[in-house]
């Protein structure tokens, strides 16, 4: 088993689903200390998903949904915007380092988000999104 921020988060999420008090919050803090990341125990992360560089400096909104076999690069932000819902990342998506996915956005299955892209609109399946202002190719 690969030891990264998502592996610890899965333990916290399992404890959260079993209604164990306090320990999931301790794991959130441990993730912050070890990886300088904020990946709350409430985030739904699919099987096979992993963090590049062990999850250094990743921020994920607690209501975000991440599908199966998703790779999240270093320094990625997956978060909400004021007055909007949070992102949904479908299966088999690759998110390159320094990408920001913000607001009520759905990233389609098999998509690739380029390094430094700022994504504020949904992307269809198998799309490629590049920086600086995200656009479909």
Q: What is the CATH number of the domain that holds 82?
A: 2.160.10.10
**From the CB of residue 30, how many other CB atoms can be counted at a distance below 10 Å?**
14
The label of the residue with tokens 């988060």 reads 9
75 found inside a domain: yes
Mean pLDDT (whole number) for 96-102: 94
17-59 per-position pLDDT tens digit: 999 999 999 999 999 999 999 999 999 999 999 999 888 999 9
Asked whether residue 135 carries a pLDDT value surpassing 80, the answer given is no
pLDDT given for residue 87 in this prediction: 95
Asked whether residue 84 is assigned to any structural domain, the reply reads yes
**Is residue 16 assigned to a domain?**
no
Q: 65-96: per-residue pLDDT in tens?
A: 999 999 999 999 999 887 778 999 999 999 99
Whole-prediction pTM value?
A: 0.90
Report pLDDT for 115: 92
Instruction: Report, as an integer, the average pLDDT of 84-113.
Output: 95
Local structure of 112: helix, strand or coil: strand
Please give the Cα distance from 130 to 78 (Å, whole number): 16
Tell me, yes or no, whether 129 lies in a domain: yes
In a domain, 89, yes or no: yes
Asked whether residue 58 is assigned to any structural domain, the reply reads yes
For 6, counting Cβ atoms within 10 Å of its Cβ (0-12 exposed, 13-18 middle, 19+ buried), the class is buried
Judge whether residue 137 has pLDDT over 90: no
Which residue segment(s) compose the domain that 71 sits in?
42-136
Structure tokens at 5: 């921020």
- Which band of pLDDT confidence, cut at 50, 70 and 90, is reported for residue 1? low
Domain presence at residue 10: no
Count: domains in the chain:
1
Residue 6 main-chain phi, psi, to 5 deg: -65, -35
Neighbours of 106 (CB within 10 A): 17
- Does residue 9 lie within any of the structural domains? no
Average pLDDT over residues 108-131: 93
Give the pLDDT confidence score for residue 37 in this predicted structure: 96
């Amino acid at each position: 088993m690969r030891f990264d921020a998502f592996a610890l988060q899965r333990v916290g999420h399992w404890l959260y689903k079993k209604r164990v008090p306090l320990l999931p919050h301790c794991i959130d803090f441990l993730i912050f200390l070890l990886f300088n990341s904020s990946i709350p125990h409430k985030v739904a992360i699919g099987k096979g998903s992993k963090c590049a560089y062990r999850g250094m400096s990743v921020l994920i909104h607690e209501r975000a949904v991440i599908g199966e076999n998703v790779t999240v690069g270093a320094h990625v932000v997956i978060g909400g915007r004021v007055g909007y819902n949070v992102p949904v990342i479908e299966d088999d998506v690759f998110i390159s380092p320094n990408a920001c996915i913000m607001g009520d956005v759905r990233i389609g299955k098999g998509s690739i988000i380029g390094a430094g892209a700022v994504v504020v609109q949904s992307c269809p399946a198998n799309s490629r999104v590049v920086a600086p202002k995200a656009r479909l190719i």
